[in-house]
Amino acid sequence: MKTEITGKIIIVGDNIDTDQIYPGRFLALTDPKEIGSHCLCGVDENIAANFPQGGIVIGGRNFGCGSSREHAPIALLNMGASAVIADSFARIFFRNAINLGLPLIISKGISQKVKEGQTLTLNITEGTIKAEETGEVFACEQLGDQAMKILEAGGIKPLMREKFGKK
Amino acid sequence: MHALEKILAKNSGRKEVKNGEIVTAKIDFAEINDLYLQTVYSFYEMGGEKVWDSTRCAFVFDHYAPTPDIQSASNHKEMREFAEKNNLQFHFDTNCGVCHQVMPEAGVIYPGMIIVATDSHTTTHGAFGALGTGCGATDMATILMTGELWLRVPEIIEVRLEGEAPKGVYPKDVILAVLGKIRADGAVYKAIDFTGSYVENLNVAGRMVICNMAVEMGAKTAYMQPNQDVLDYVSERAVRPYEVEFTDPGYEYTESYVFDVTKLEPELACPSSVENVHTLASVVAEGEVKLNQGYIGSCTGGREEDIAIAAKILKGKHIPEYTRLIVVPASREVMLSCMEKGYIQDLMAAGATITTPGCGACLGAHEGILAPGEVCITSTNRNFPGRMGSTEALMYLASPATVAASMISGTITDPRKYL
Ligand code: SF4
């Protein structure tokens, strides 16, 4: 796993629920690329098409609340997001994202401190976020051992394959 | 220890657990709904061959019941093939209803168990003294392979509900009032134990409404100590022996909230957030709210009790022209009973559209989608932007009685007028 991630950011608000990340009308889709193309369309239809590849999504409190649909992190990953940083995350979304290898980082008040389109460098192991343009550094929480173990393996799937002796 | 901790300890082979600890717990029942074909894909990607126990997992086809398009039909087909290949003892096809209603009906939910489902509203089963929690597709695939899941032992919040509800105040109003106070992220990663005299006297359906919406505060799970109503319900149905767990006297909660239910009024969660809760009286005092659609259904508001009160209010009346009322019984059992009692006939006579038991339009998949600019009052659990269709539609969450009363004039109306 990459412990340092650099990417341009987009900023969304509080309580971005999984219906806004991935609306119910697209839930029957199974192709990951197609799923990614609808990402965050409940917030703004144009986000996915213009998303900077490898970018970071910045949210407010309770990002990912609502339904347990794994389509939400699948959409974020396939839109090209490399991490999400927010004040707080909803629980099921948190598990789903970590399971798929998408780092979710808590940094209180982050959406107020950064500006749309800025480039941030996130260091997951050190727990720091650096704004490339201004040199400002913000603190963030470190992930728990269980989440780190899964992320380091590249997600829960490689971990399970190992456990079941299949490569 | 708390009853929930005892359940976690029992299922992870420990004497004791403490909050913050990570345990690997045995799962008593696992349910996959029809949005989660990804579970099957993840299962094979991880090297799965057969499910760990064919008597302890099931599919419920509820979100697309029956299928509205070729894509969802193909998804069902693949899931059916998986179920058949694994010889699953329980299978709930499109003729059954919403997962959180059909599982208790089928007796796979009982006190003291851990139920995990690919659905956030699995907190519903706290109503039965079970530990119910939702997960995503890949977590579910790991359960299907191993029968286990890692879980963090949650901190537990007490929500004490005291007193009898006044006329016109239903479990839905009570949970909306709680939600307005605790907010949409007030219980993230935590469990909520609902206690107090209101809960002790509450019937099974009412308990399910309240535990169902615990997840709207972010809760990992909800709990209510089983009462006689619950024990009567499960004793007739449970497919396995069970043991009720009890919280030790003197257990210390991380936080406690107390609500005086006797002082509550009919409530609304206004557009477009579940925590935007106001009393109905204060909303209508600011001006008439015109409605295009009323909706009674879902794992929150589609039970017999809900349809009964709607039928009582709407019997002999008619909804206005150019409005529509959609009623979706939560399950086949609910629908059959409502037909037998004449509720469905009364509602249809009043102009309601009845659709197949299942999730219906609750998540905007089909059967009652909202157009831009439309306003809907609904007994469901979420009013997020776009939840029932267009992101430019507005949704008010309310009790089934409030929905029914509001459909008489086509504007939001206090149900107490008709009780
Ligand atoms: S009825 Fe609505 S909330 Fe309940 S499981 Fe179905 S879609 Fe989800």
Q: How far is A45 from chain B (nearest CA, A)?
A: 11
At B28-37, the pLDDT tens digits run 999 999 999 9
> Does ligand 1 come within 6 angstroms of the Cβ of B212?
no
pLDDT at B27 over 70: yes
How many whole angstroms separate alpha carbon B169 and alpha carbon B175? 11
Residue A166: predicted pLDDT: 59
8 A C-beta contact, residue B161 and residue B259: yes
pLDDT at B11 over 70: yes
Q: How far is A114 from chain B (nearest CA, A)?
A: 23
**SS3 state of residue A98:** helix
Query: Helix A91-100 vs helix A145-152: angle between axes, to the nearest 10 degrees?
Result: 30
Q: Which residues contact B16 (CB under 8 A, 6 or more apart)?
A: B1, B5, B9
Give the distance, in angstroms, between the CA of residue B82 and the centroid of all CA atoms in the same chain: 26
At B57-108, the pLDDT tens digits run 999 999 999 999 999 999 999 999 999 999 999 999 999 999 999 999 999 9
How many whole angstroms separate alpha carbon B210 and alpha carbon B300? 8
pLDDT at A165 over 80: no
Domain total of chain A: 1
Whether A96 and B120 lie within 8 Å, measured CB to CB: no
> Does ligand 1 come within 6 angstroms of the Cβ of B366?
no
pLDDT at B233 over 90: yes
> Does ligand 1 come within 6 angstroms of the Cβ of B121?
yes
> Does ligand 1 come within 6 angstroms of the Cβ of B98?
yes
**What's the mean per-residue pLDDT of chain B?**
97
At B346-393, the pLDDT tens digits run 999 999 999 999 999 999 999 999 999 999 999 999 999 999 999 999
Q: Is B386 in CB contact (< 8 Å) with chain A?
A: yes
Q: Tally C-beta pairs within 8 A across A and B.
A: 135
Q: How far is A132 from chain B (nearest CA, A)?
A: 31
Distance spanning both ends of chain A, measured CA to CA: 18
At A56-106, the pLDDT tens digits run 999 999 999 999 999 999 999 999 999 999 999 999 999 999 999 999 999
The CA B378 to ligand 1 mean position distance, Å, reads 13
How many whole angstroms separate alpha carbon B413 and alpha carbon B164? 23
For chain B, the three-class secondary structure string (H helix, E strand, C coil) is: CCHHHHHHHHHCCCCCCCCCCEEEEECCEEEEECCCHHHHHHHHHCCCCCCCCCCCEEEECCCCCCCCCHHHHHHHHHHHHHHHHCCCCCCECCCCECHHHHHHHHCCCCCCCEEEECCHHHHHHHHHCCEEEECCHHHHHHHHHHCEEEEECCCEEEEEEECCCCCCCCHHHHHHHHHHHHCCCCCCCCEEEEECHHHHCCCHHHHHHHHHHHHHHCCCEEECCCCHHHHHHHHHHCCCCCCCCCCCCCCCCCEEEEEEHHHCCCEEECCCCCCCEEEHHHHHHCCCCECCEEEECHHHHCCHHHHHHHHHHHCCCCCCCCCEEEECCCEHHHHHHHHHCCHHHHHHHCCEEECCCCCCCCCCCCCCCECCCCEEEECCCCCCCCCCECCCCEEEECCHHHHHHHHHHCECCCHHHHC
The CA A67 to ligand 1 mean position distance, Å, reads 9
Q: Is A27 in CB contact (< 8 Å) with chain B?
A: yes
Strands of the sheet with B191-195, listed across from one edge: B221-223, B191-195, B156-162, B255-260
Which residue of B46, B119, B382 is in closest CB contact with A68? B119
Residue B230: predicted pLDDT: 98
Global confidence as pTM: 0.96
- Residues B190-209 have a mean pLDDT of 98
Within chain A, strands assigned E span 4-11, 56-58, 83-86, 104-106, 119-123, 128-131, 137-139
- Nearest alpha-carbon partner for B65 in A16, A150, A28: A28
How many whole angstroms separate alpha carbon A57 and alpha carbon A84? 5
> Among A160-164, B136-140, B220-224, which stretch is predicted with the lowest mean pLDDT?
A160-164
Residue A162: predicted pLDDT: 87
- Nearest alpha-carbon partner for A122 in A31, A43, A48, A54: A54
Whether A156 and B142 lie within 8 Å, measured CB to CB: yes
pLDDT at A167 over 60: no
Q: What domain range is A116 assigned to?
A: 4-164
Indicate which CATH number applies to the domain containing A109. 3.20.19.10
Whether A92 and B42 lie within 8 Å, measured CB to CB: no
pLDDT at A1 over 90: no
Residue A163: predicted pLDDT: 84
Hey, which of B32, B92, B362 would you mutate to test ligand 1's pocket, going by the most ligand atoms within 8 Å of its Cβ? B362
pLDDT at B122 over 90: yes
Q: Match 């998949």 to its residue by tokens.
A: B365
- Residues B99-121 have a mean pLDDT of 98
Strands of the sheet with A83-86, listed across from one edge: A104-106, A83-86, A56-58, A4-11, A119-123, A128-131, A137-139
At B243-287, the pLDDT tens digits run 999 999 999 999 999 999 999 999 999 999 999 999 999 999 999
The CA B182 to ligand 1 mean position distance, Å, reads 22
- Nearest alpha-carbon partner for A71 in B69, B381, B363: B363
